[in-house]
Amino acid sequence: MPRSSALTITDATKRFGDFTAVDSLSLDVAAGTCLGLLGPNGAGKTTLMRMITGQTKLTAGSIEVLGLDVARESRAARSELGVCPQQDNMDEQQTVRENLSLWAALCRVPRARRKDSVARALSTAQLVERADERVANLSGGMRRRLLLGRAFINSPRLVLLDEPTVGLDPQVRSDLWLMIDSMRRSGVTVVMSTHYIEEAERLADDIAIVNHGRIIARGTPKQLRELHAGLEAVEYFGPQTALDEIAAKATAAGLKSRRAGLSISVLGVESADQHLLESWGRHSRRPTNLEDVFVLLTGESLDA
Amino acid sequence: MRDFDVRSLPAIWTRELIIFKRYWRGTTFTSVLEPLLYLFGIGLGVGAFVDEIDGMKYVVFVGTGAVATAVLFSSVFPGMYNTFIARVFQKVYDGILSTPTTTAEIMIGEAVWIAARTAVYGCVPMIATIPFGLQARWTMLFVPAIAFISALGLTFLGQFISGVVKVIDSFSYFQSALLTPLLFVSGTYFPITGLPNWAQTLSNANPVYHCIELVRDACFGTLSMSAWWHVAALVAFAMVTGTLSVRTLTKRLVT
């Protein structure tokens, strides 16, 4: 195994009865990088995260965290991990400081270092002034910051962030992105699941698109866009019949297109005949994005 | 045992201590008041009609029996409710299990904590009975230890029940069909010698019965070799319920 892998997943499978949540999935994450697992709700991202922490057992395959086999050395693996769960699972009746120092103890941070770790986490989470407030009294954004700060308390080498900004308003989300970004810069390996395109594009060095428990594409955001959707797209609005026509014309012209509600996007138009595009109607031009890639690859929408 | 490392326990106790510091008034109020109500209500109320049992004042009989009531209530209920709430409503265990801690450590750690607390609460009815004629003896110093070991198995039982039910409302089935019989077929309020033979035989499987026997022997200075049988029964009970608790909760938490 190359020393530079922080996480190696080989043919990992998880079945719950007849349902296959994770389907023979393989993944290798280089140390010091940030991988975004992009996929809709129910794609198997949370199950995969739980398999990495040993909280969901593998039906088949193997997972190695920093060279430790999760099936046999789960405890040792967890001591190198930091986890920010999708579902807030903090003790509400405890204060912010109590939560953090309890977490430091649970993560086996040596007693002498705990105070410093807590102080550091308080300042990264920007909760120094709220340290003695009960968690129940914090806003949603503050709770998320605390949850994120908590995930880093044991100076982990690999951090799992499961939908770190789900359900938060845009301002809070961009605050959290700053926080994640600065942690990422400290050199820790991050595996982050998300179904927000912008989140994946901003934070991840590398993206794995997950659908139905499988990875269907992998690469940098730029690589994925260029390979699957081209550089630019044009978007047409109009009644369904007009959109149907444009779709047919695009196909005839050898261009890929995708529908989204009242619009259609024709993709990879950077080298297409501009007059032809004009002739189809009024449109606006935009760069392609990962959503285009996702829809092209799966035929499904991310928000489904 | 790969799944159990004592070094995980201090963190579990830290969590319990933080919660207890916040809620000790309520917890203590219930754990102290209820057995005292039994002591005064039944001990003095029924005691007005029943003079003596086994050659002792009825209130003294009930007062020592109420120790076991206190032990039962202060252990099995936290085992049921705290465990269910932390697991299902707060998802706290899901968080803890992503740290280097196992289900076995959580369950055993919490049970030891609750049993230690119960060791204190269990003494309250005994002390309260002293003014009513229970004679203080040095062997009473065994009572906290008896309460601890009884509570350990009963807390595990509560944890196990919390892992069996799907919804918290189902606890009432266990309360009526399991816990109430445990309390009555034990010798708390009347000697089990008055019960049919089959019930007396059955009481050997009841940890509350063994707890009461030991507590009375410690309070009346009648400890003998038979105490070891009761201790062995309580240890066996704790081992069985502890295994059930850890297995069931592991199945629930690690999918």
| B93: nearest CA partner in chain A | A89
A249-255 long-range Cβ contacts below 8 angstroms, 24+ apart: A249/A280
Inspect the interface and report whether the beta carbons of B94 and A89 lie closer than 8 Å: yes
Chain B positions touching A89 (Cβ under 8 A) are 90-92, 94-95
Tell me if B1 is assigned to some domain: no
The answer to whether B99 contacts A107, with C-beta atoms less than 8 Å apart, is yes
Residues of chain A with pLDDT under 70: 1-3, 301-304
Q: Given an 8 Å threshold on Cβ–Cβ distance, is A102 in contact with B94?
A: no
Using CA coordinates, name the residue in chain B closest to A160.
Answer: B98
- Give B141-164 pLDDT, tens digit per residue: 999 999 999 999 999 999 999 999
What is the pLDDT, as a whole number, of residue B1? Answer: 55
Instruction: Enumerate the β-bridge partners of residue B138.
Output: none
Contact A79 B101 (CB under 8 A): no
> Which phi and psi angles does A7 have, rounded to 5°?
-145, 125
pLDDT digits (tens, 9 = 90+) for A269-299: 888 888 888 889 888 999 998 889 988 888 7
Q: Taking all residues of chain B, what is their mean pLDDT, rounded to a whole number? A: 93
Residues from chain A contacting residue B253 (CB–CB below 8 Å): 55
Nearest CA in chain B to A83: B98
Q: B18 and A102: CB-CB below 8 Å?
A: yes
* Nearest chain A residue to B98, by CA: A53
Query: Is the CB of residue A56 less than 8 Å away from at least one CB of chain B?
Result: yes
Q: What is the pLDDT of residue A116?
A: 95
Residues of chain B found within 8 Å of residue A83, distances taken between Cβ atoms: 95, 98
Q: Which domain holds residue B206?
A: 6-253
Judging contacts by C-beta atoms under 8 Å, the chain B residues touching residue A106 are 8, 11, 96, 99-101
Q: If 0-12 CB within 10 Å is exposed, 13-18 middle and 19+ buried, where does residue B51 land?
A: exposed
The residue of A14, A22, A46, A89 whose CB has the most chain B CBs within 10 angstroms, and thus the best one to mutate to test that interface, is: A89
Type of residue found at A57:
K
Of A79, A91, A93, the CB nearest to B100: A79
Domain assignment present for residue B118? The answer is yes
Counting the structural domains of chain B, the total is 1
Where are the extended beta strands (E) located within chain B?
A: 52-53, 56-57
Task: Calculate how close chain B gets to A11, using CA atoms only, in Å.
Answer: 19
- Kindly tell me if the per-residue pLDDT of B36 is higher than 50: yes
Q: Report DSSP letters for B174-206, one per residue.
A: HIIIIIHHHHHTTTSSS-GGGS-HHHHHHGGG-
Tell me the CA distances in angstroms from A36 to A31, A159, A163, B94, B98, one per residue in order: 14, 12, 10, 23, 20
CA-CA-CA-CA dihedral for B20, B25, B31, B34, to nearest 10: -160
Q: CA-CA distance, B126 to A12, in Å (whole number)?
A: 59
Quick one: pLDDT at residue A302?
65
The answer to whether residues B103 and A74 touch, using CB atoms and an 8 Å cutoff, is: no
Which among B19, B100, B254 is the nearest to A108, CB-wise? Answer: B100
Asked whether residue B42 carries a pLDDT value surpassing 90, the answer given is no
Burial (0-12, 13-18, 19+ Cβ within 10 Å), A116: exposed
Q: What is the residue type of A6?
A: A
For chain A, what's the residue count?
Answer: 304
Residue of chain A whose Cα is closest to the Cα of B253:
A55
Tokens at residue B193, please? 């010698």
On whether residue B205 sits in a domain, the answer given is yes
In a domain, B162, yes or no: yes
Q: Residue B121: pLDDT above 90?
A: yes
Q: A264 vs A31, A130, A248, A253, CA distance in Å?
A: 39, 48, 11, 15
Q: What are the residues facing A45 on neighbouring strands?
A: none
Query: What's the pLDDT score for residue A301?
Result: 67
Q: Does B91 touch chain A (CB under 8 A)?
A: yes
In whole angstroms, give the CA distance from residue B110 to residue B8: 11
Of all residues in chain B, the percent with pLDDT exceeding 90 is 75
Tell which residue, B18, B93, B66, B35, has the closest CA to residue B253: B93
CA dihedral B84→B89→B93→B96, nearest 10 degrees, is: -150
Write out pLDDT tens, residues A173-212.
888 999 899 888 888 999 999 988 889 988 999 999 999 9
Q: ipTM of this model?
A: 0.88
CB contacts, 8 Å: A107 with chain B:
99-100
Question: What is chain A's Cα-based Rg?
Answer: 22
Say how many Å lie between the first and final Cα of chain A, rounded.
38
Chain B residues close to A90, C-beta within 8 Å: 92, 95
Per-residue model confidence (pLDDT) at position A1? 42
Tokens of B173: 């089935």
Contacts of A70 in chain B (CB under 8 A): none
For range B4-15, the mean pLDDT = 93
Q: Give the whole-angstrom CA distance, residue A157 versus residue A71.
A: 19
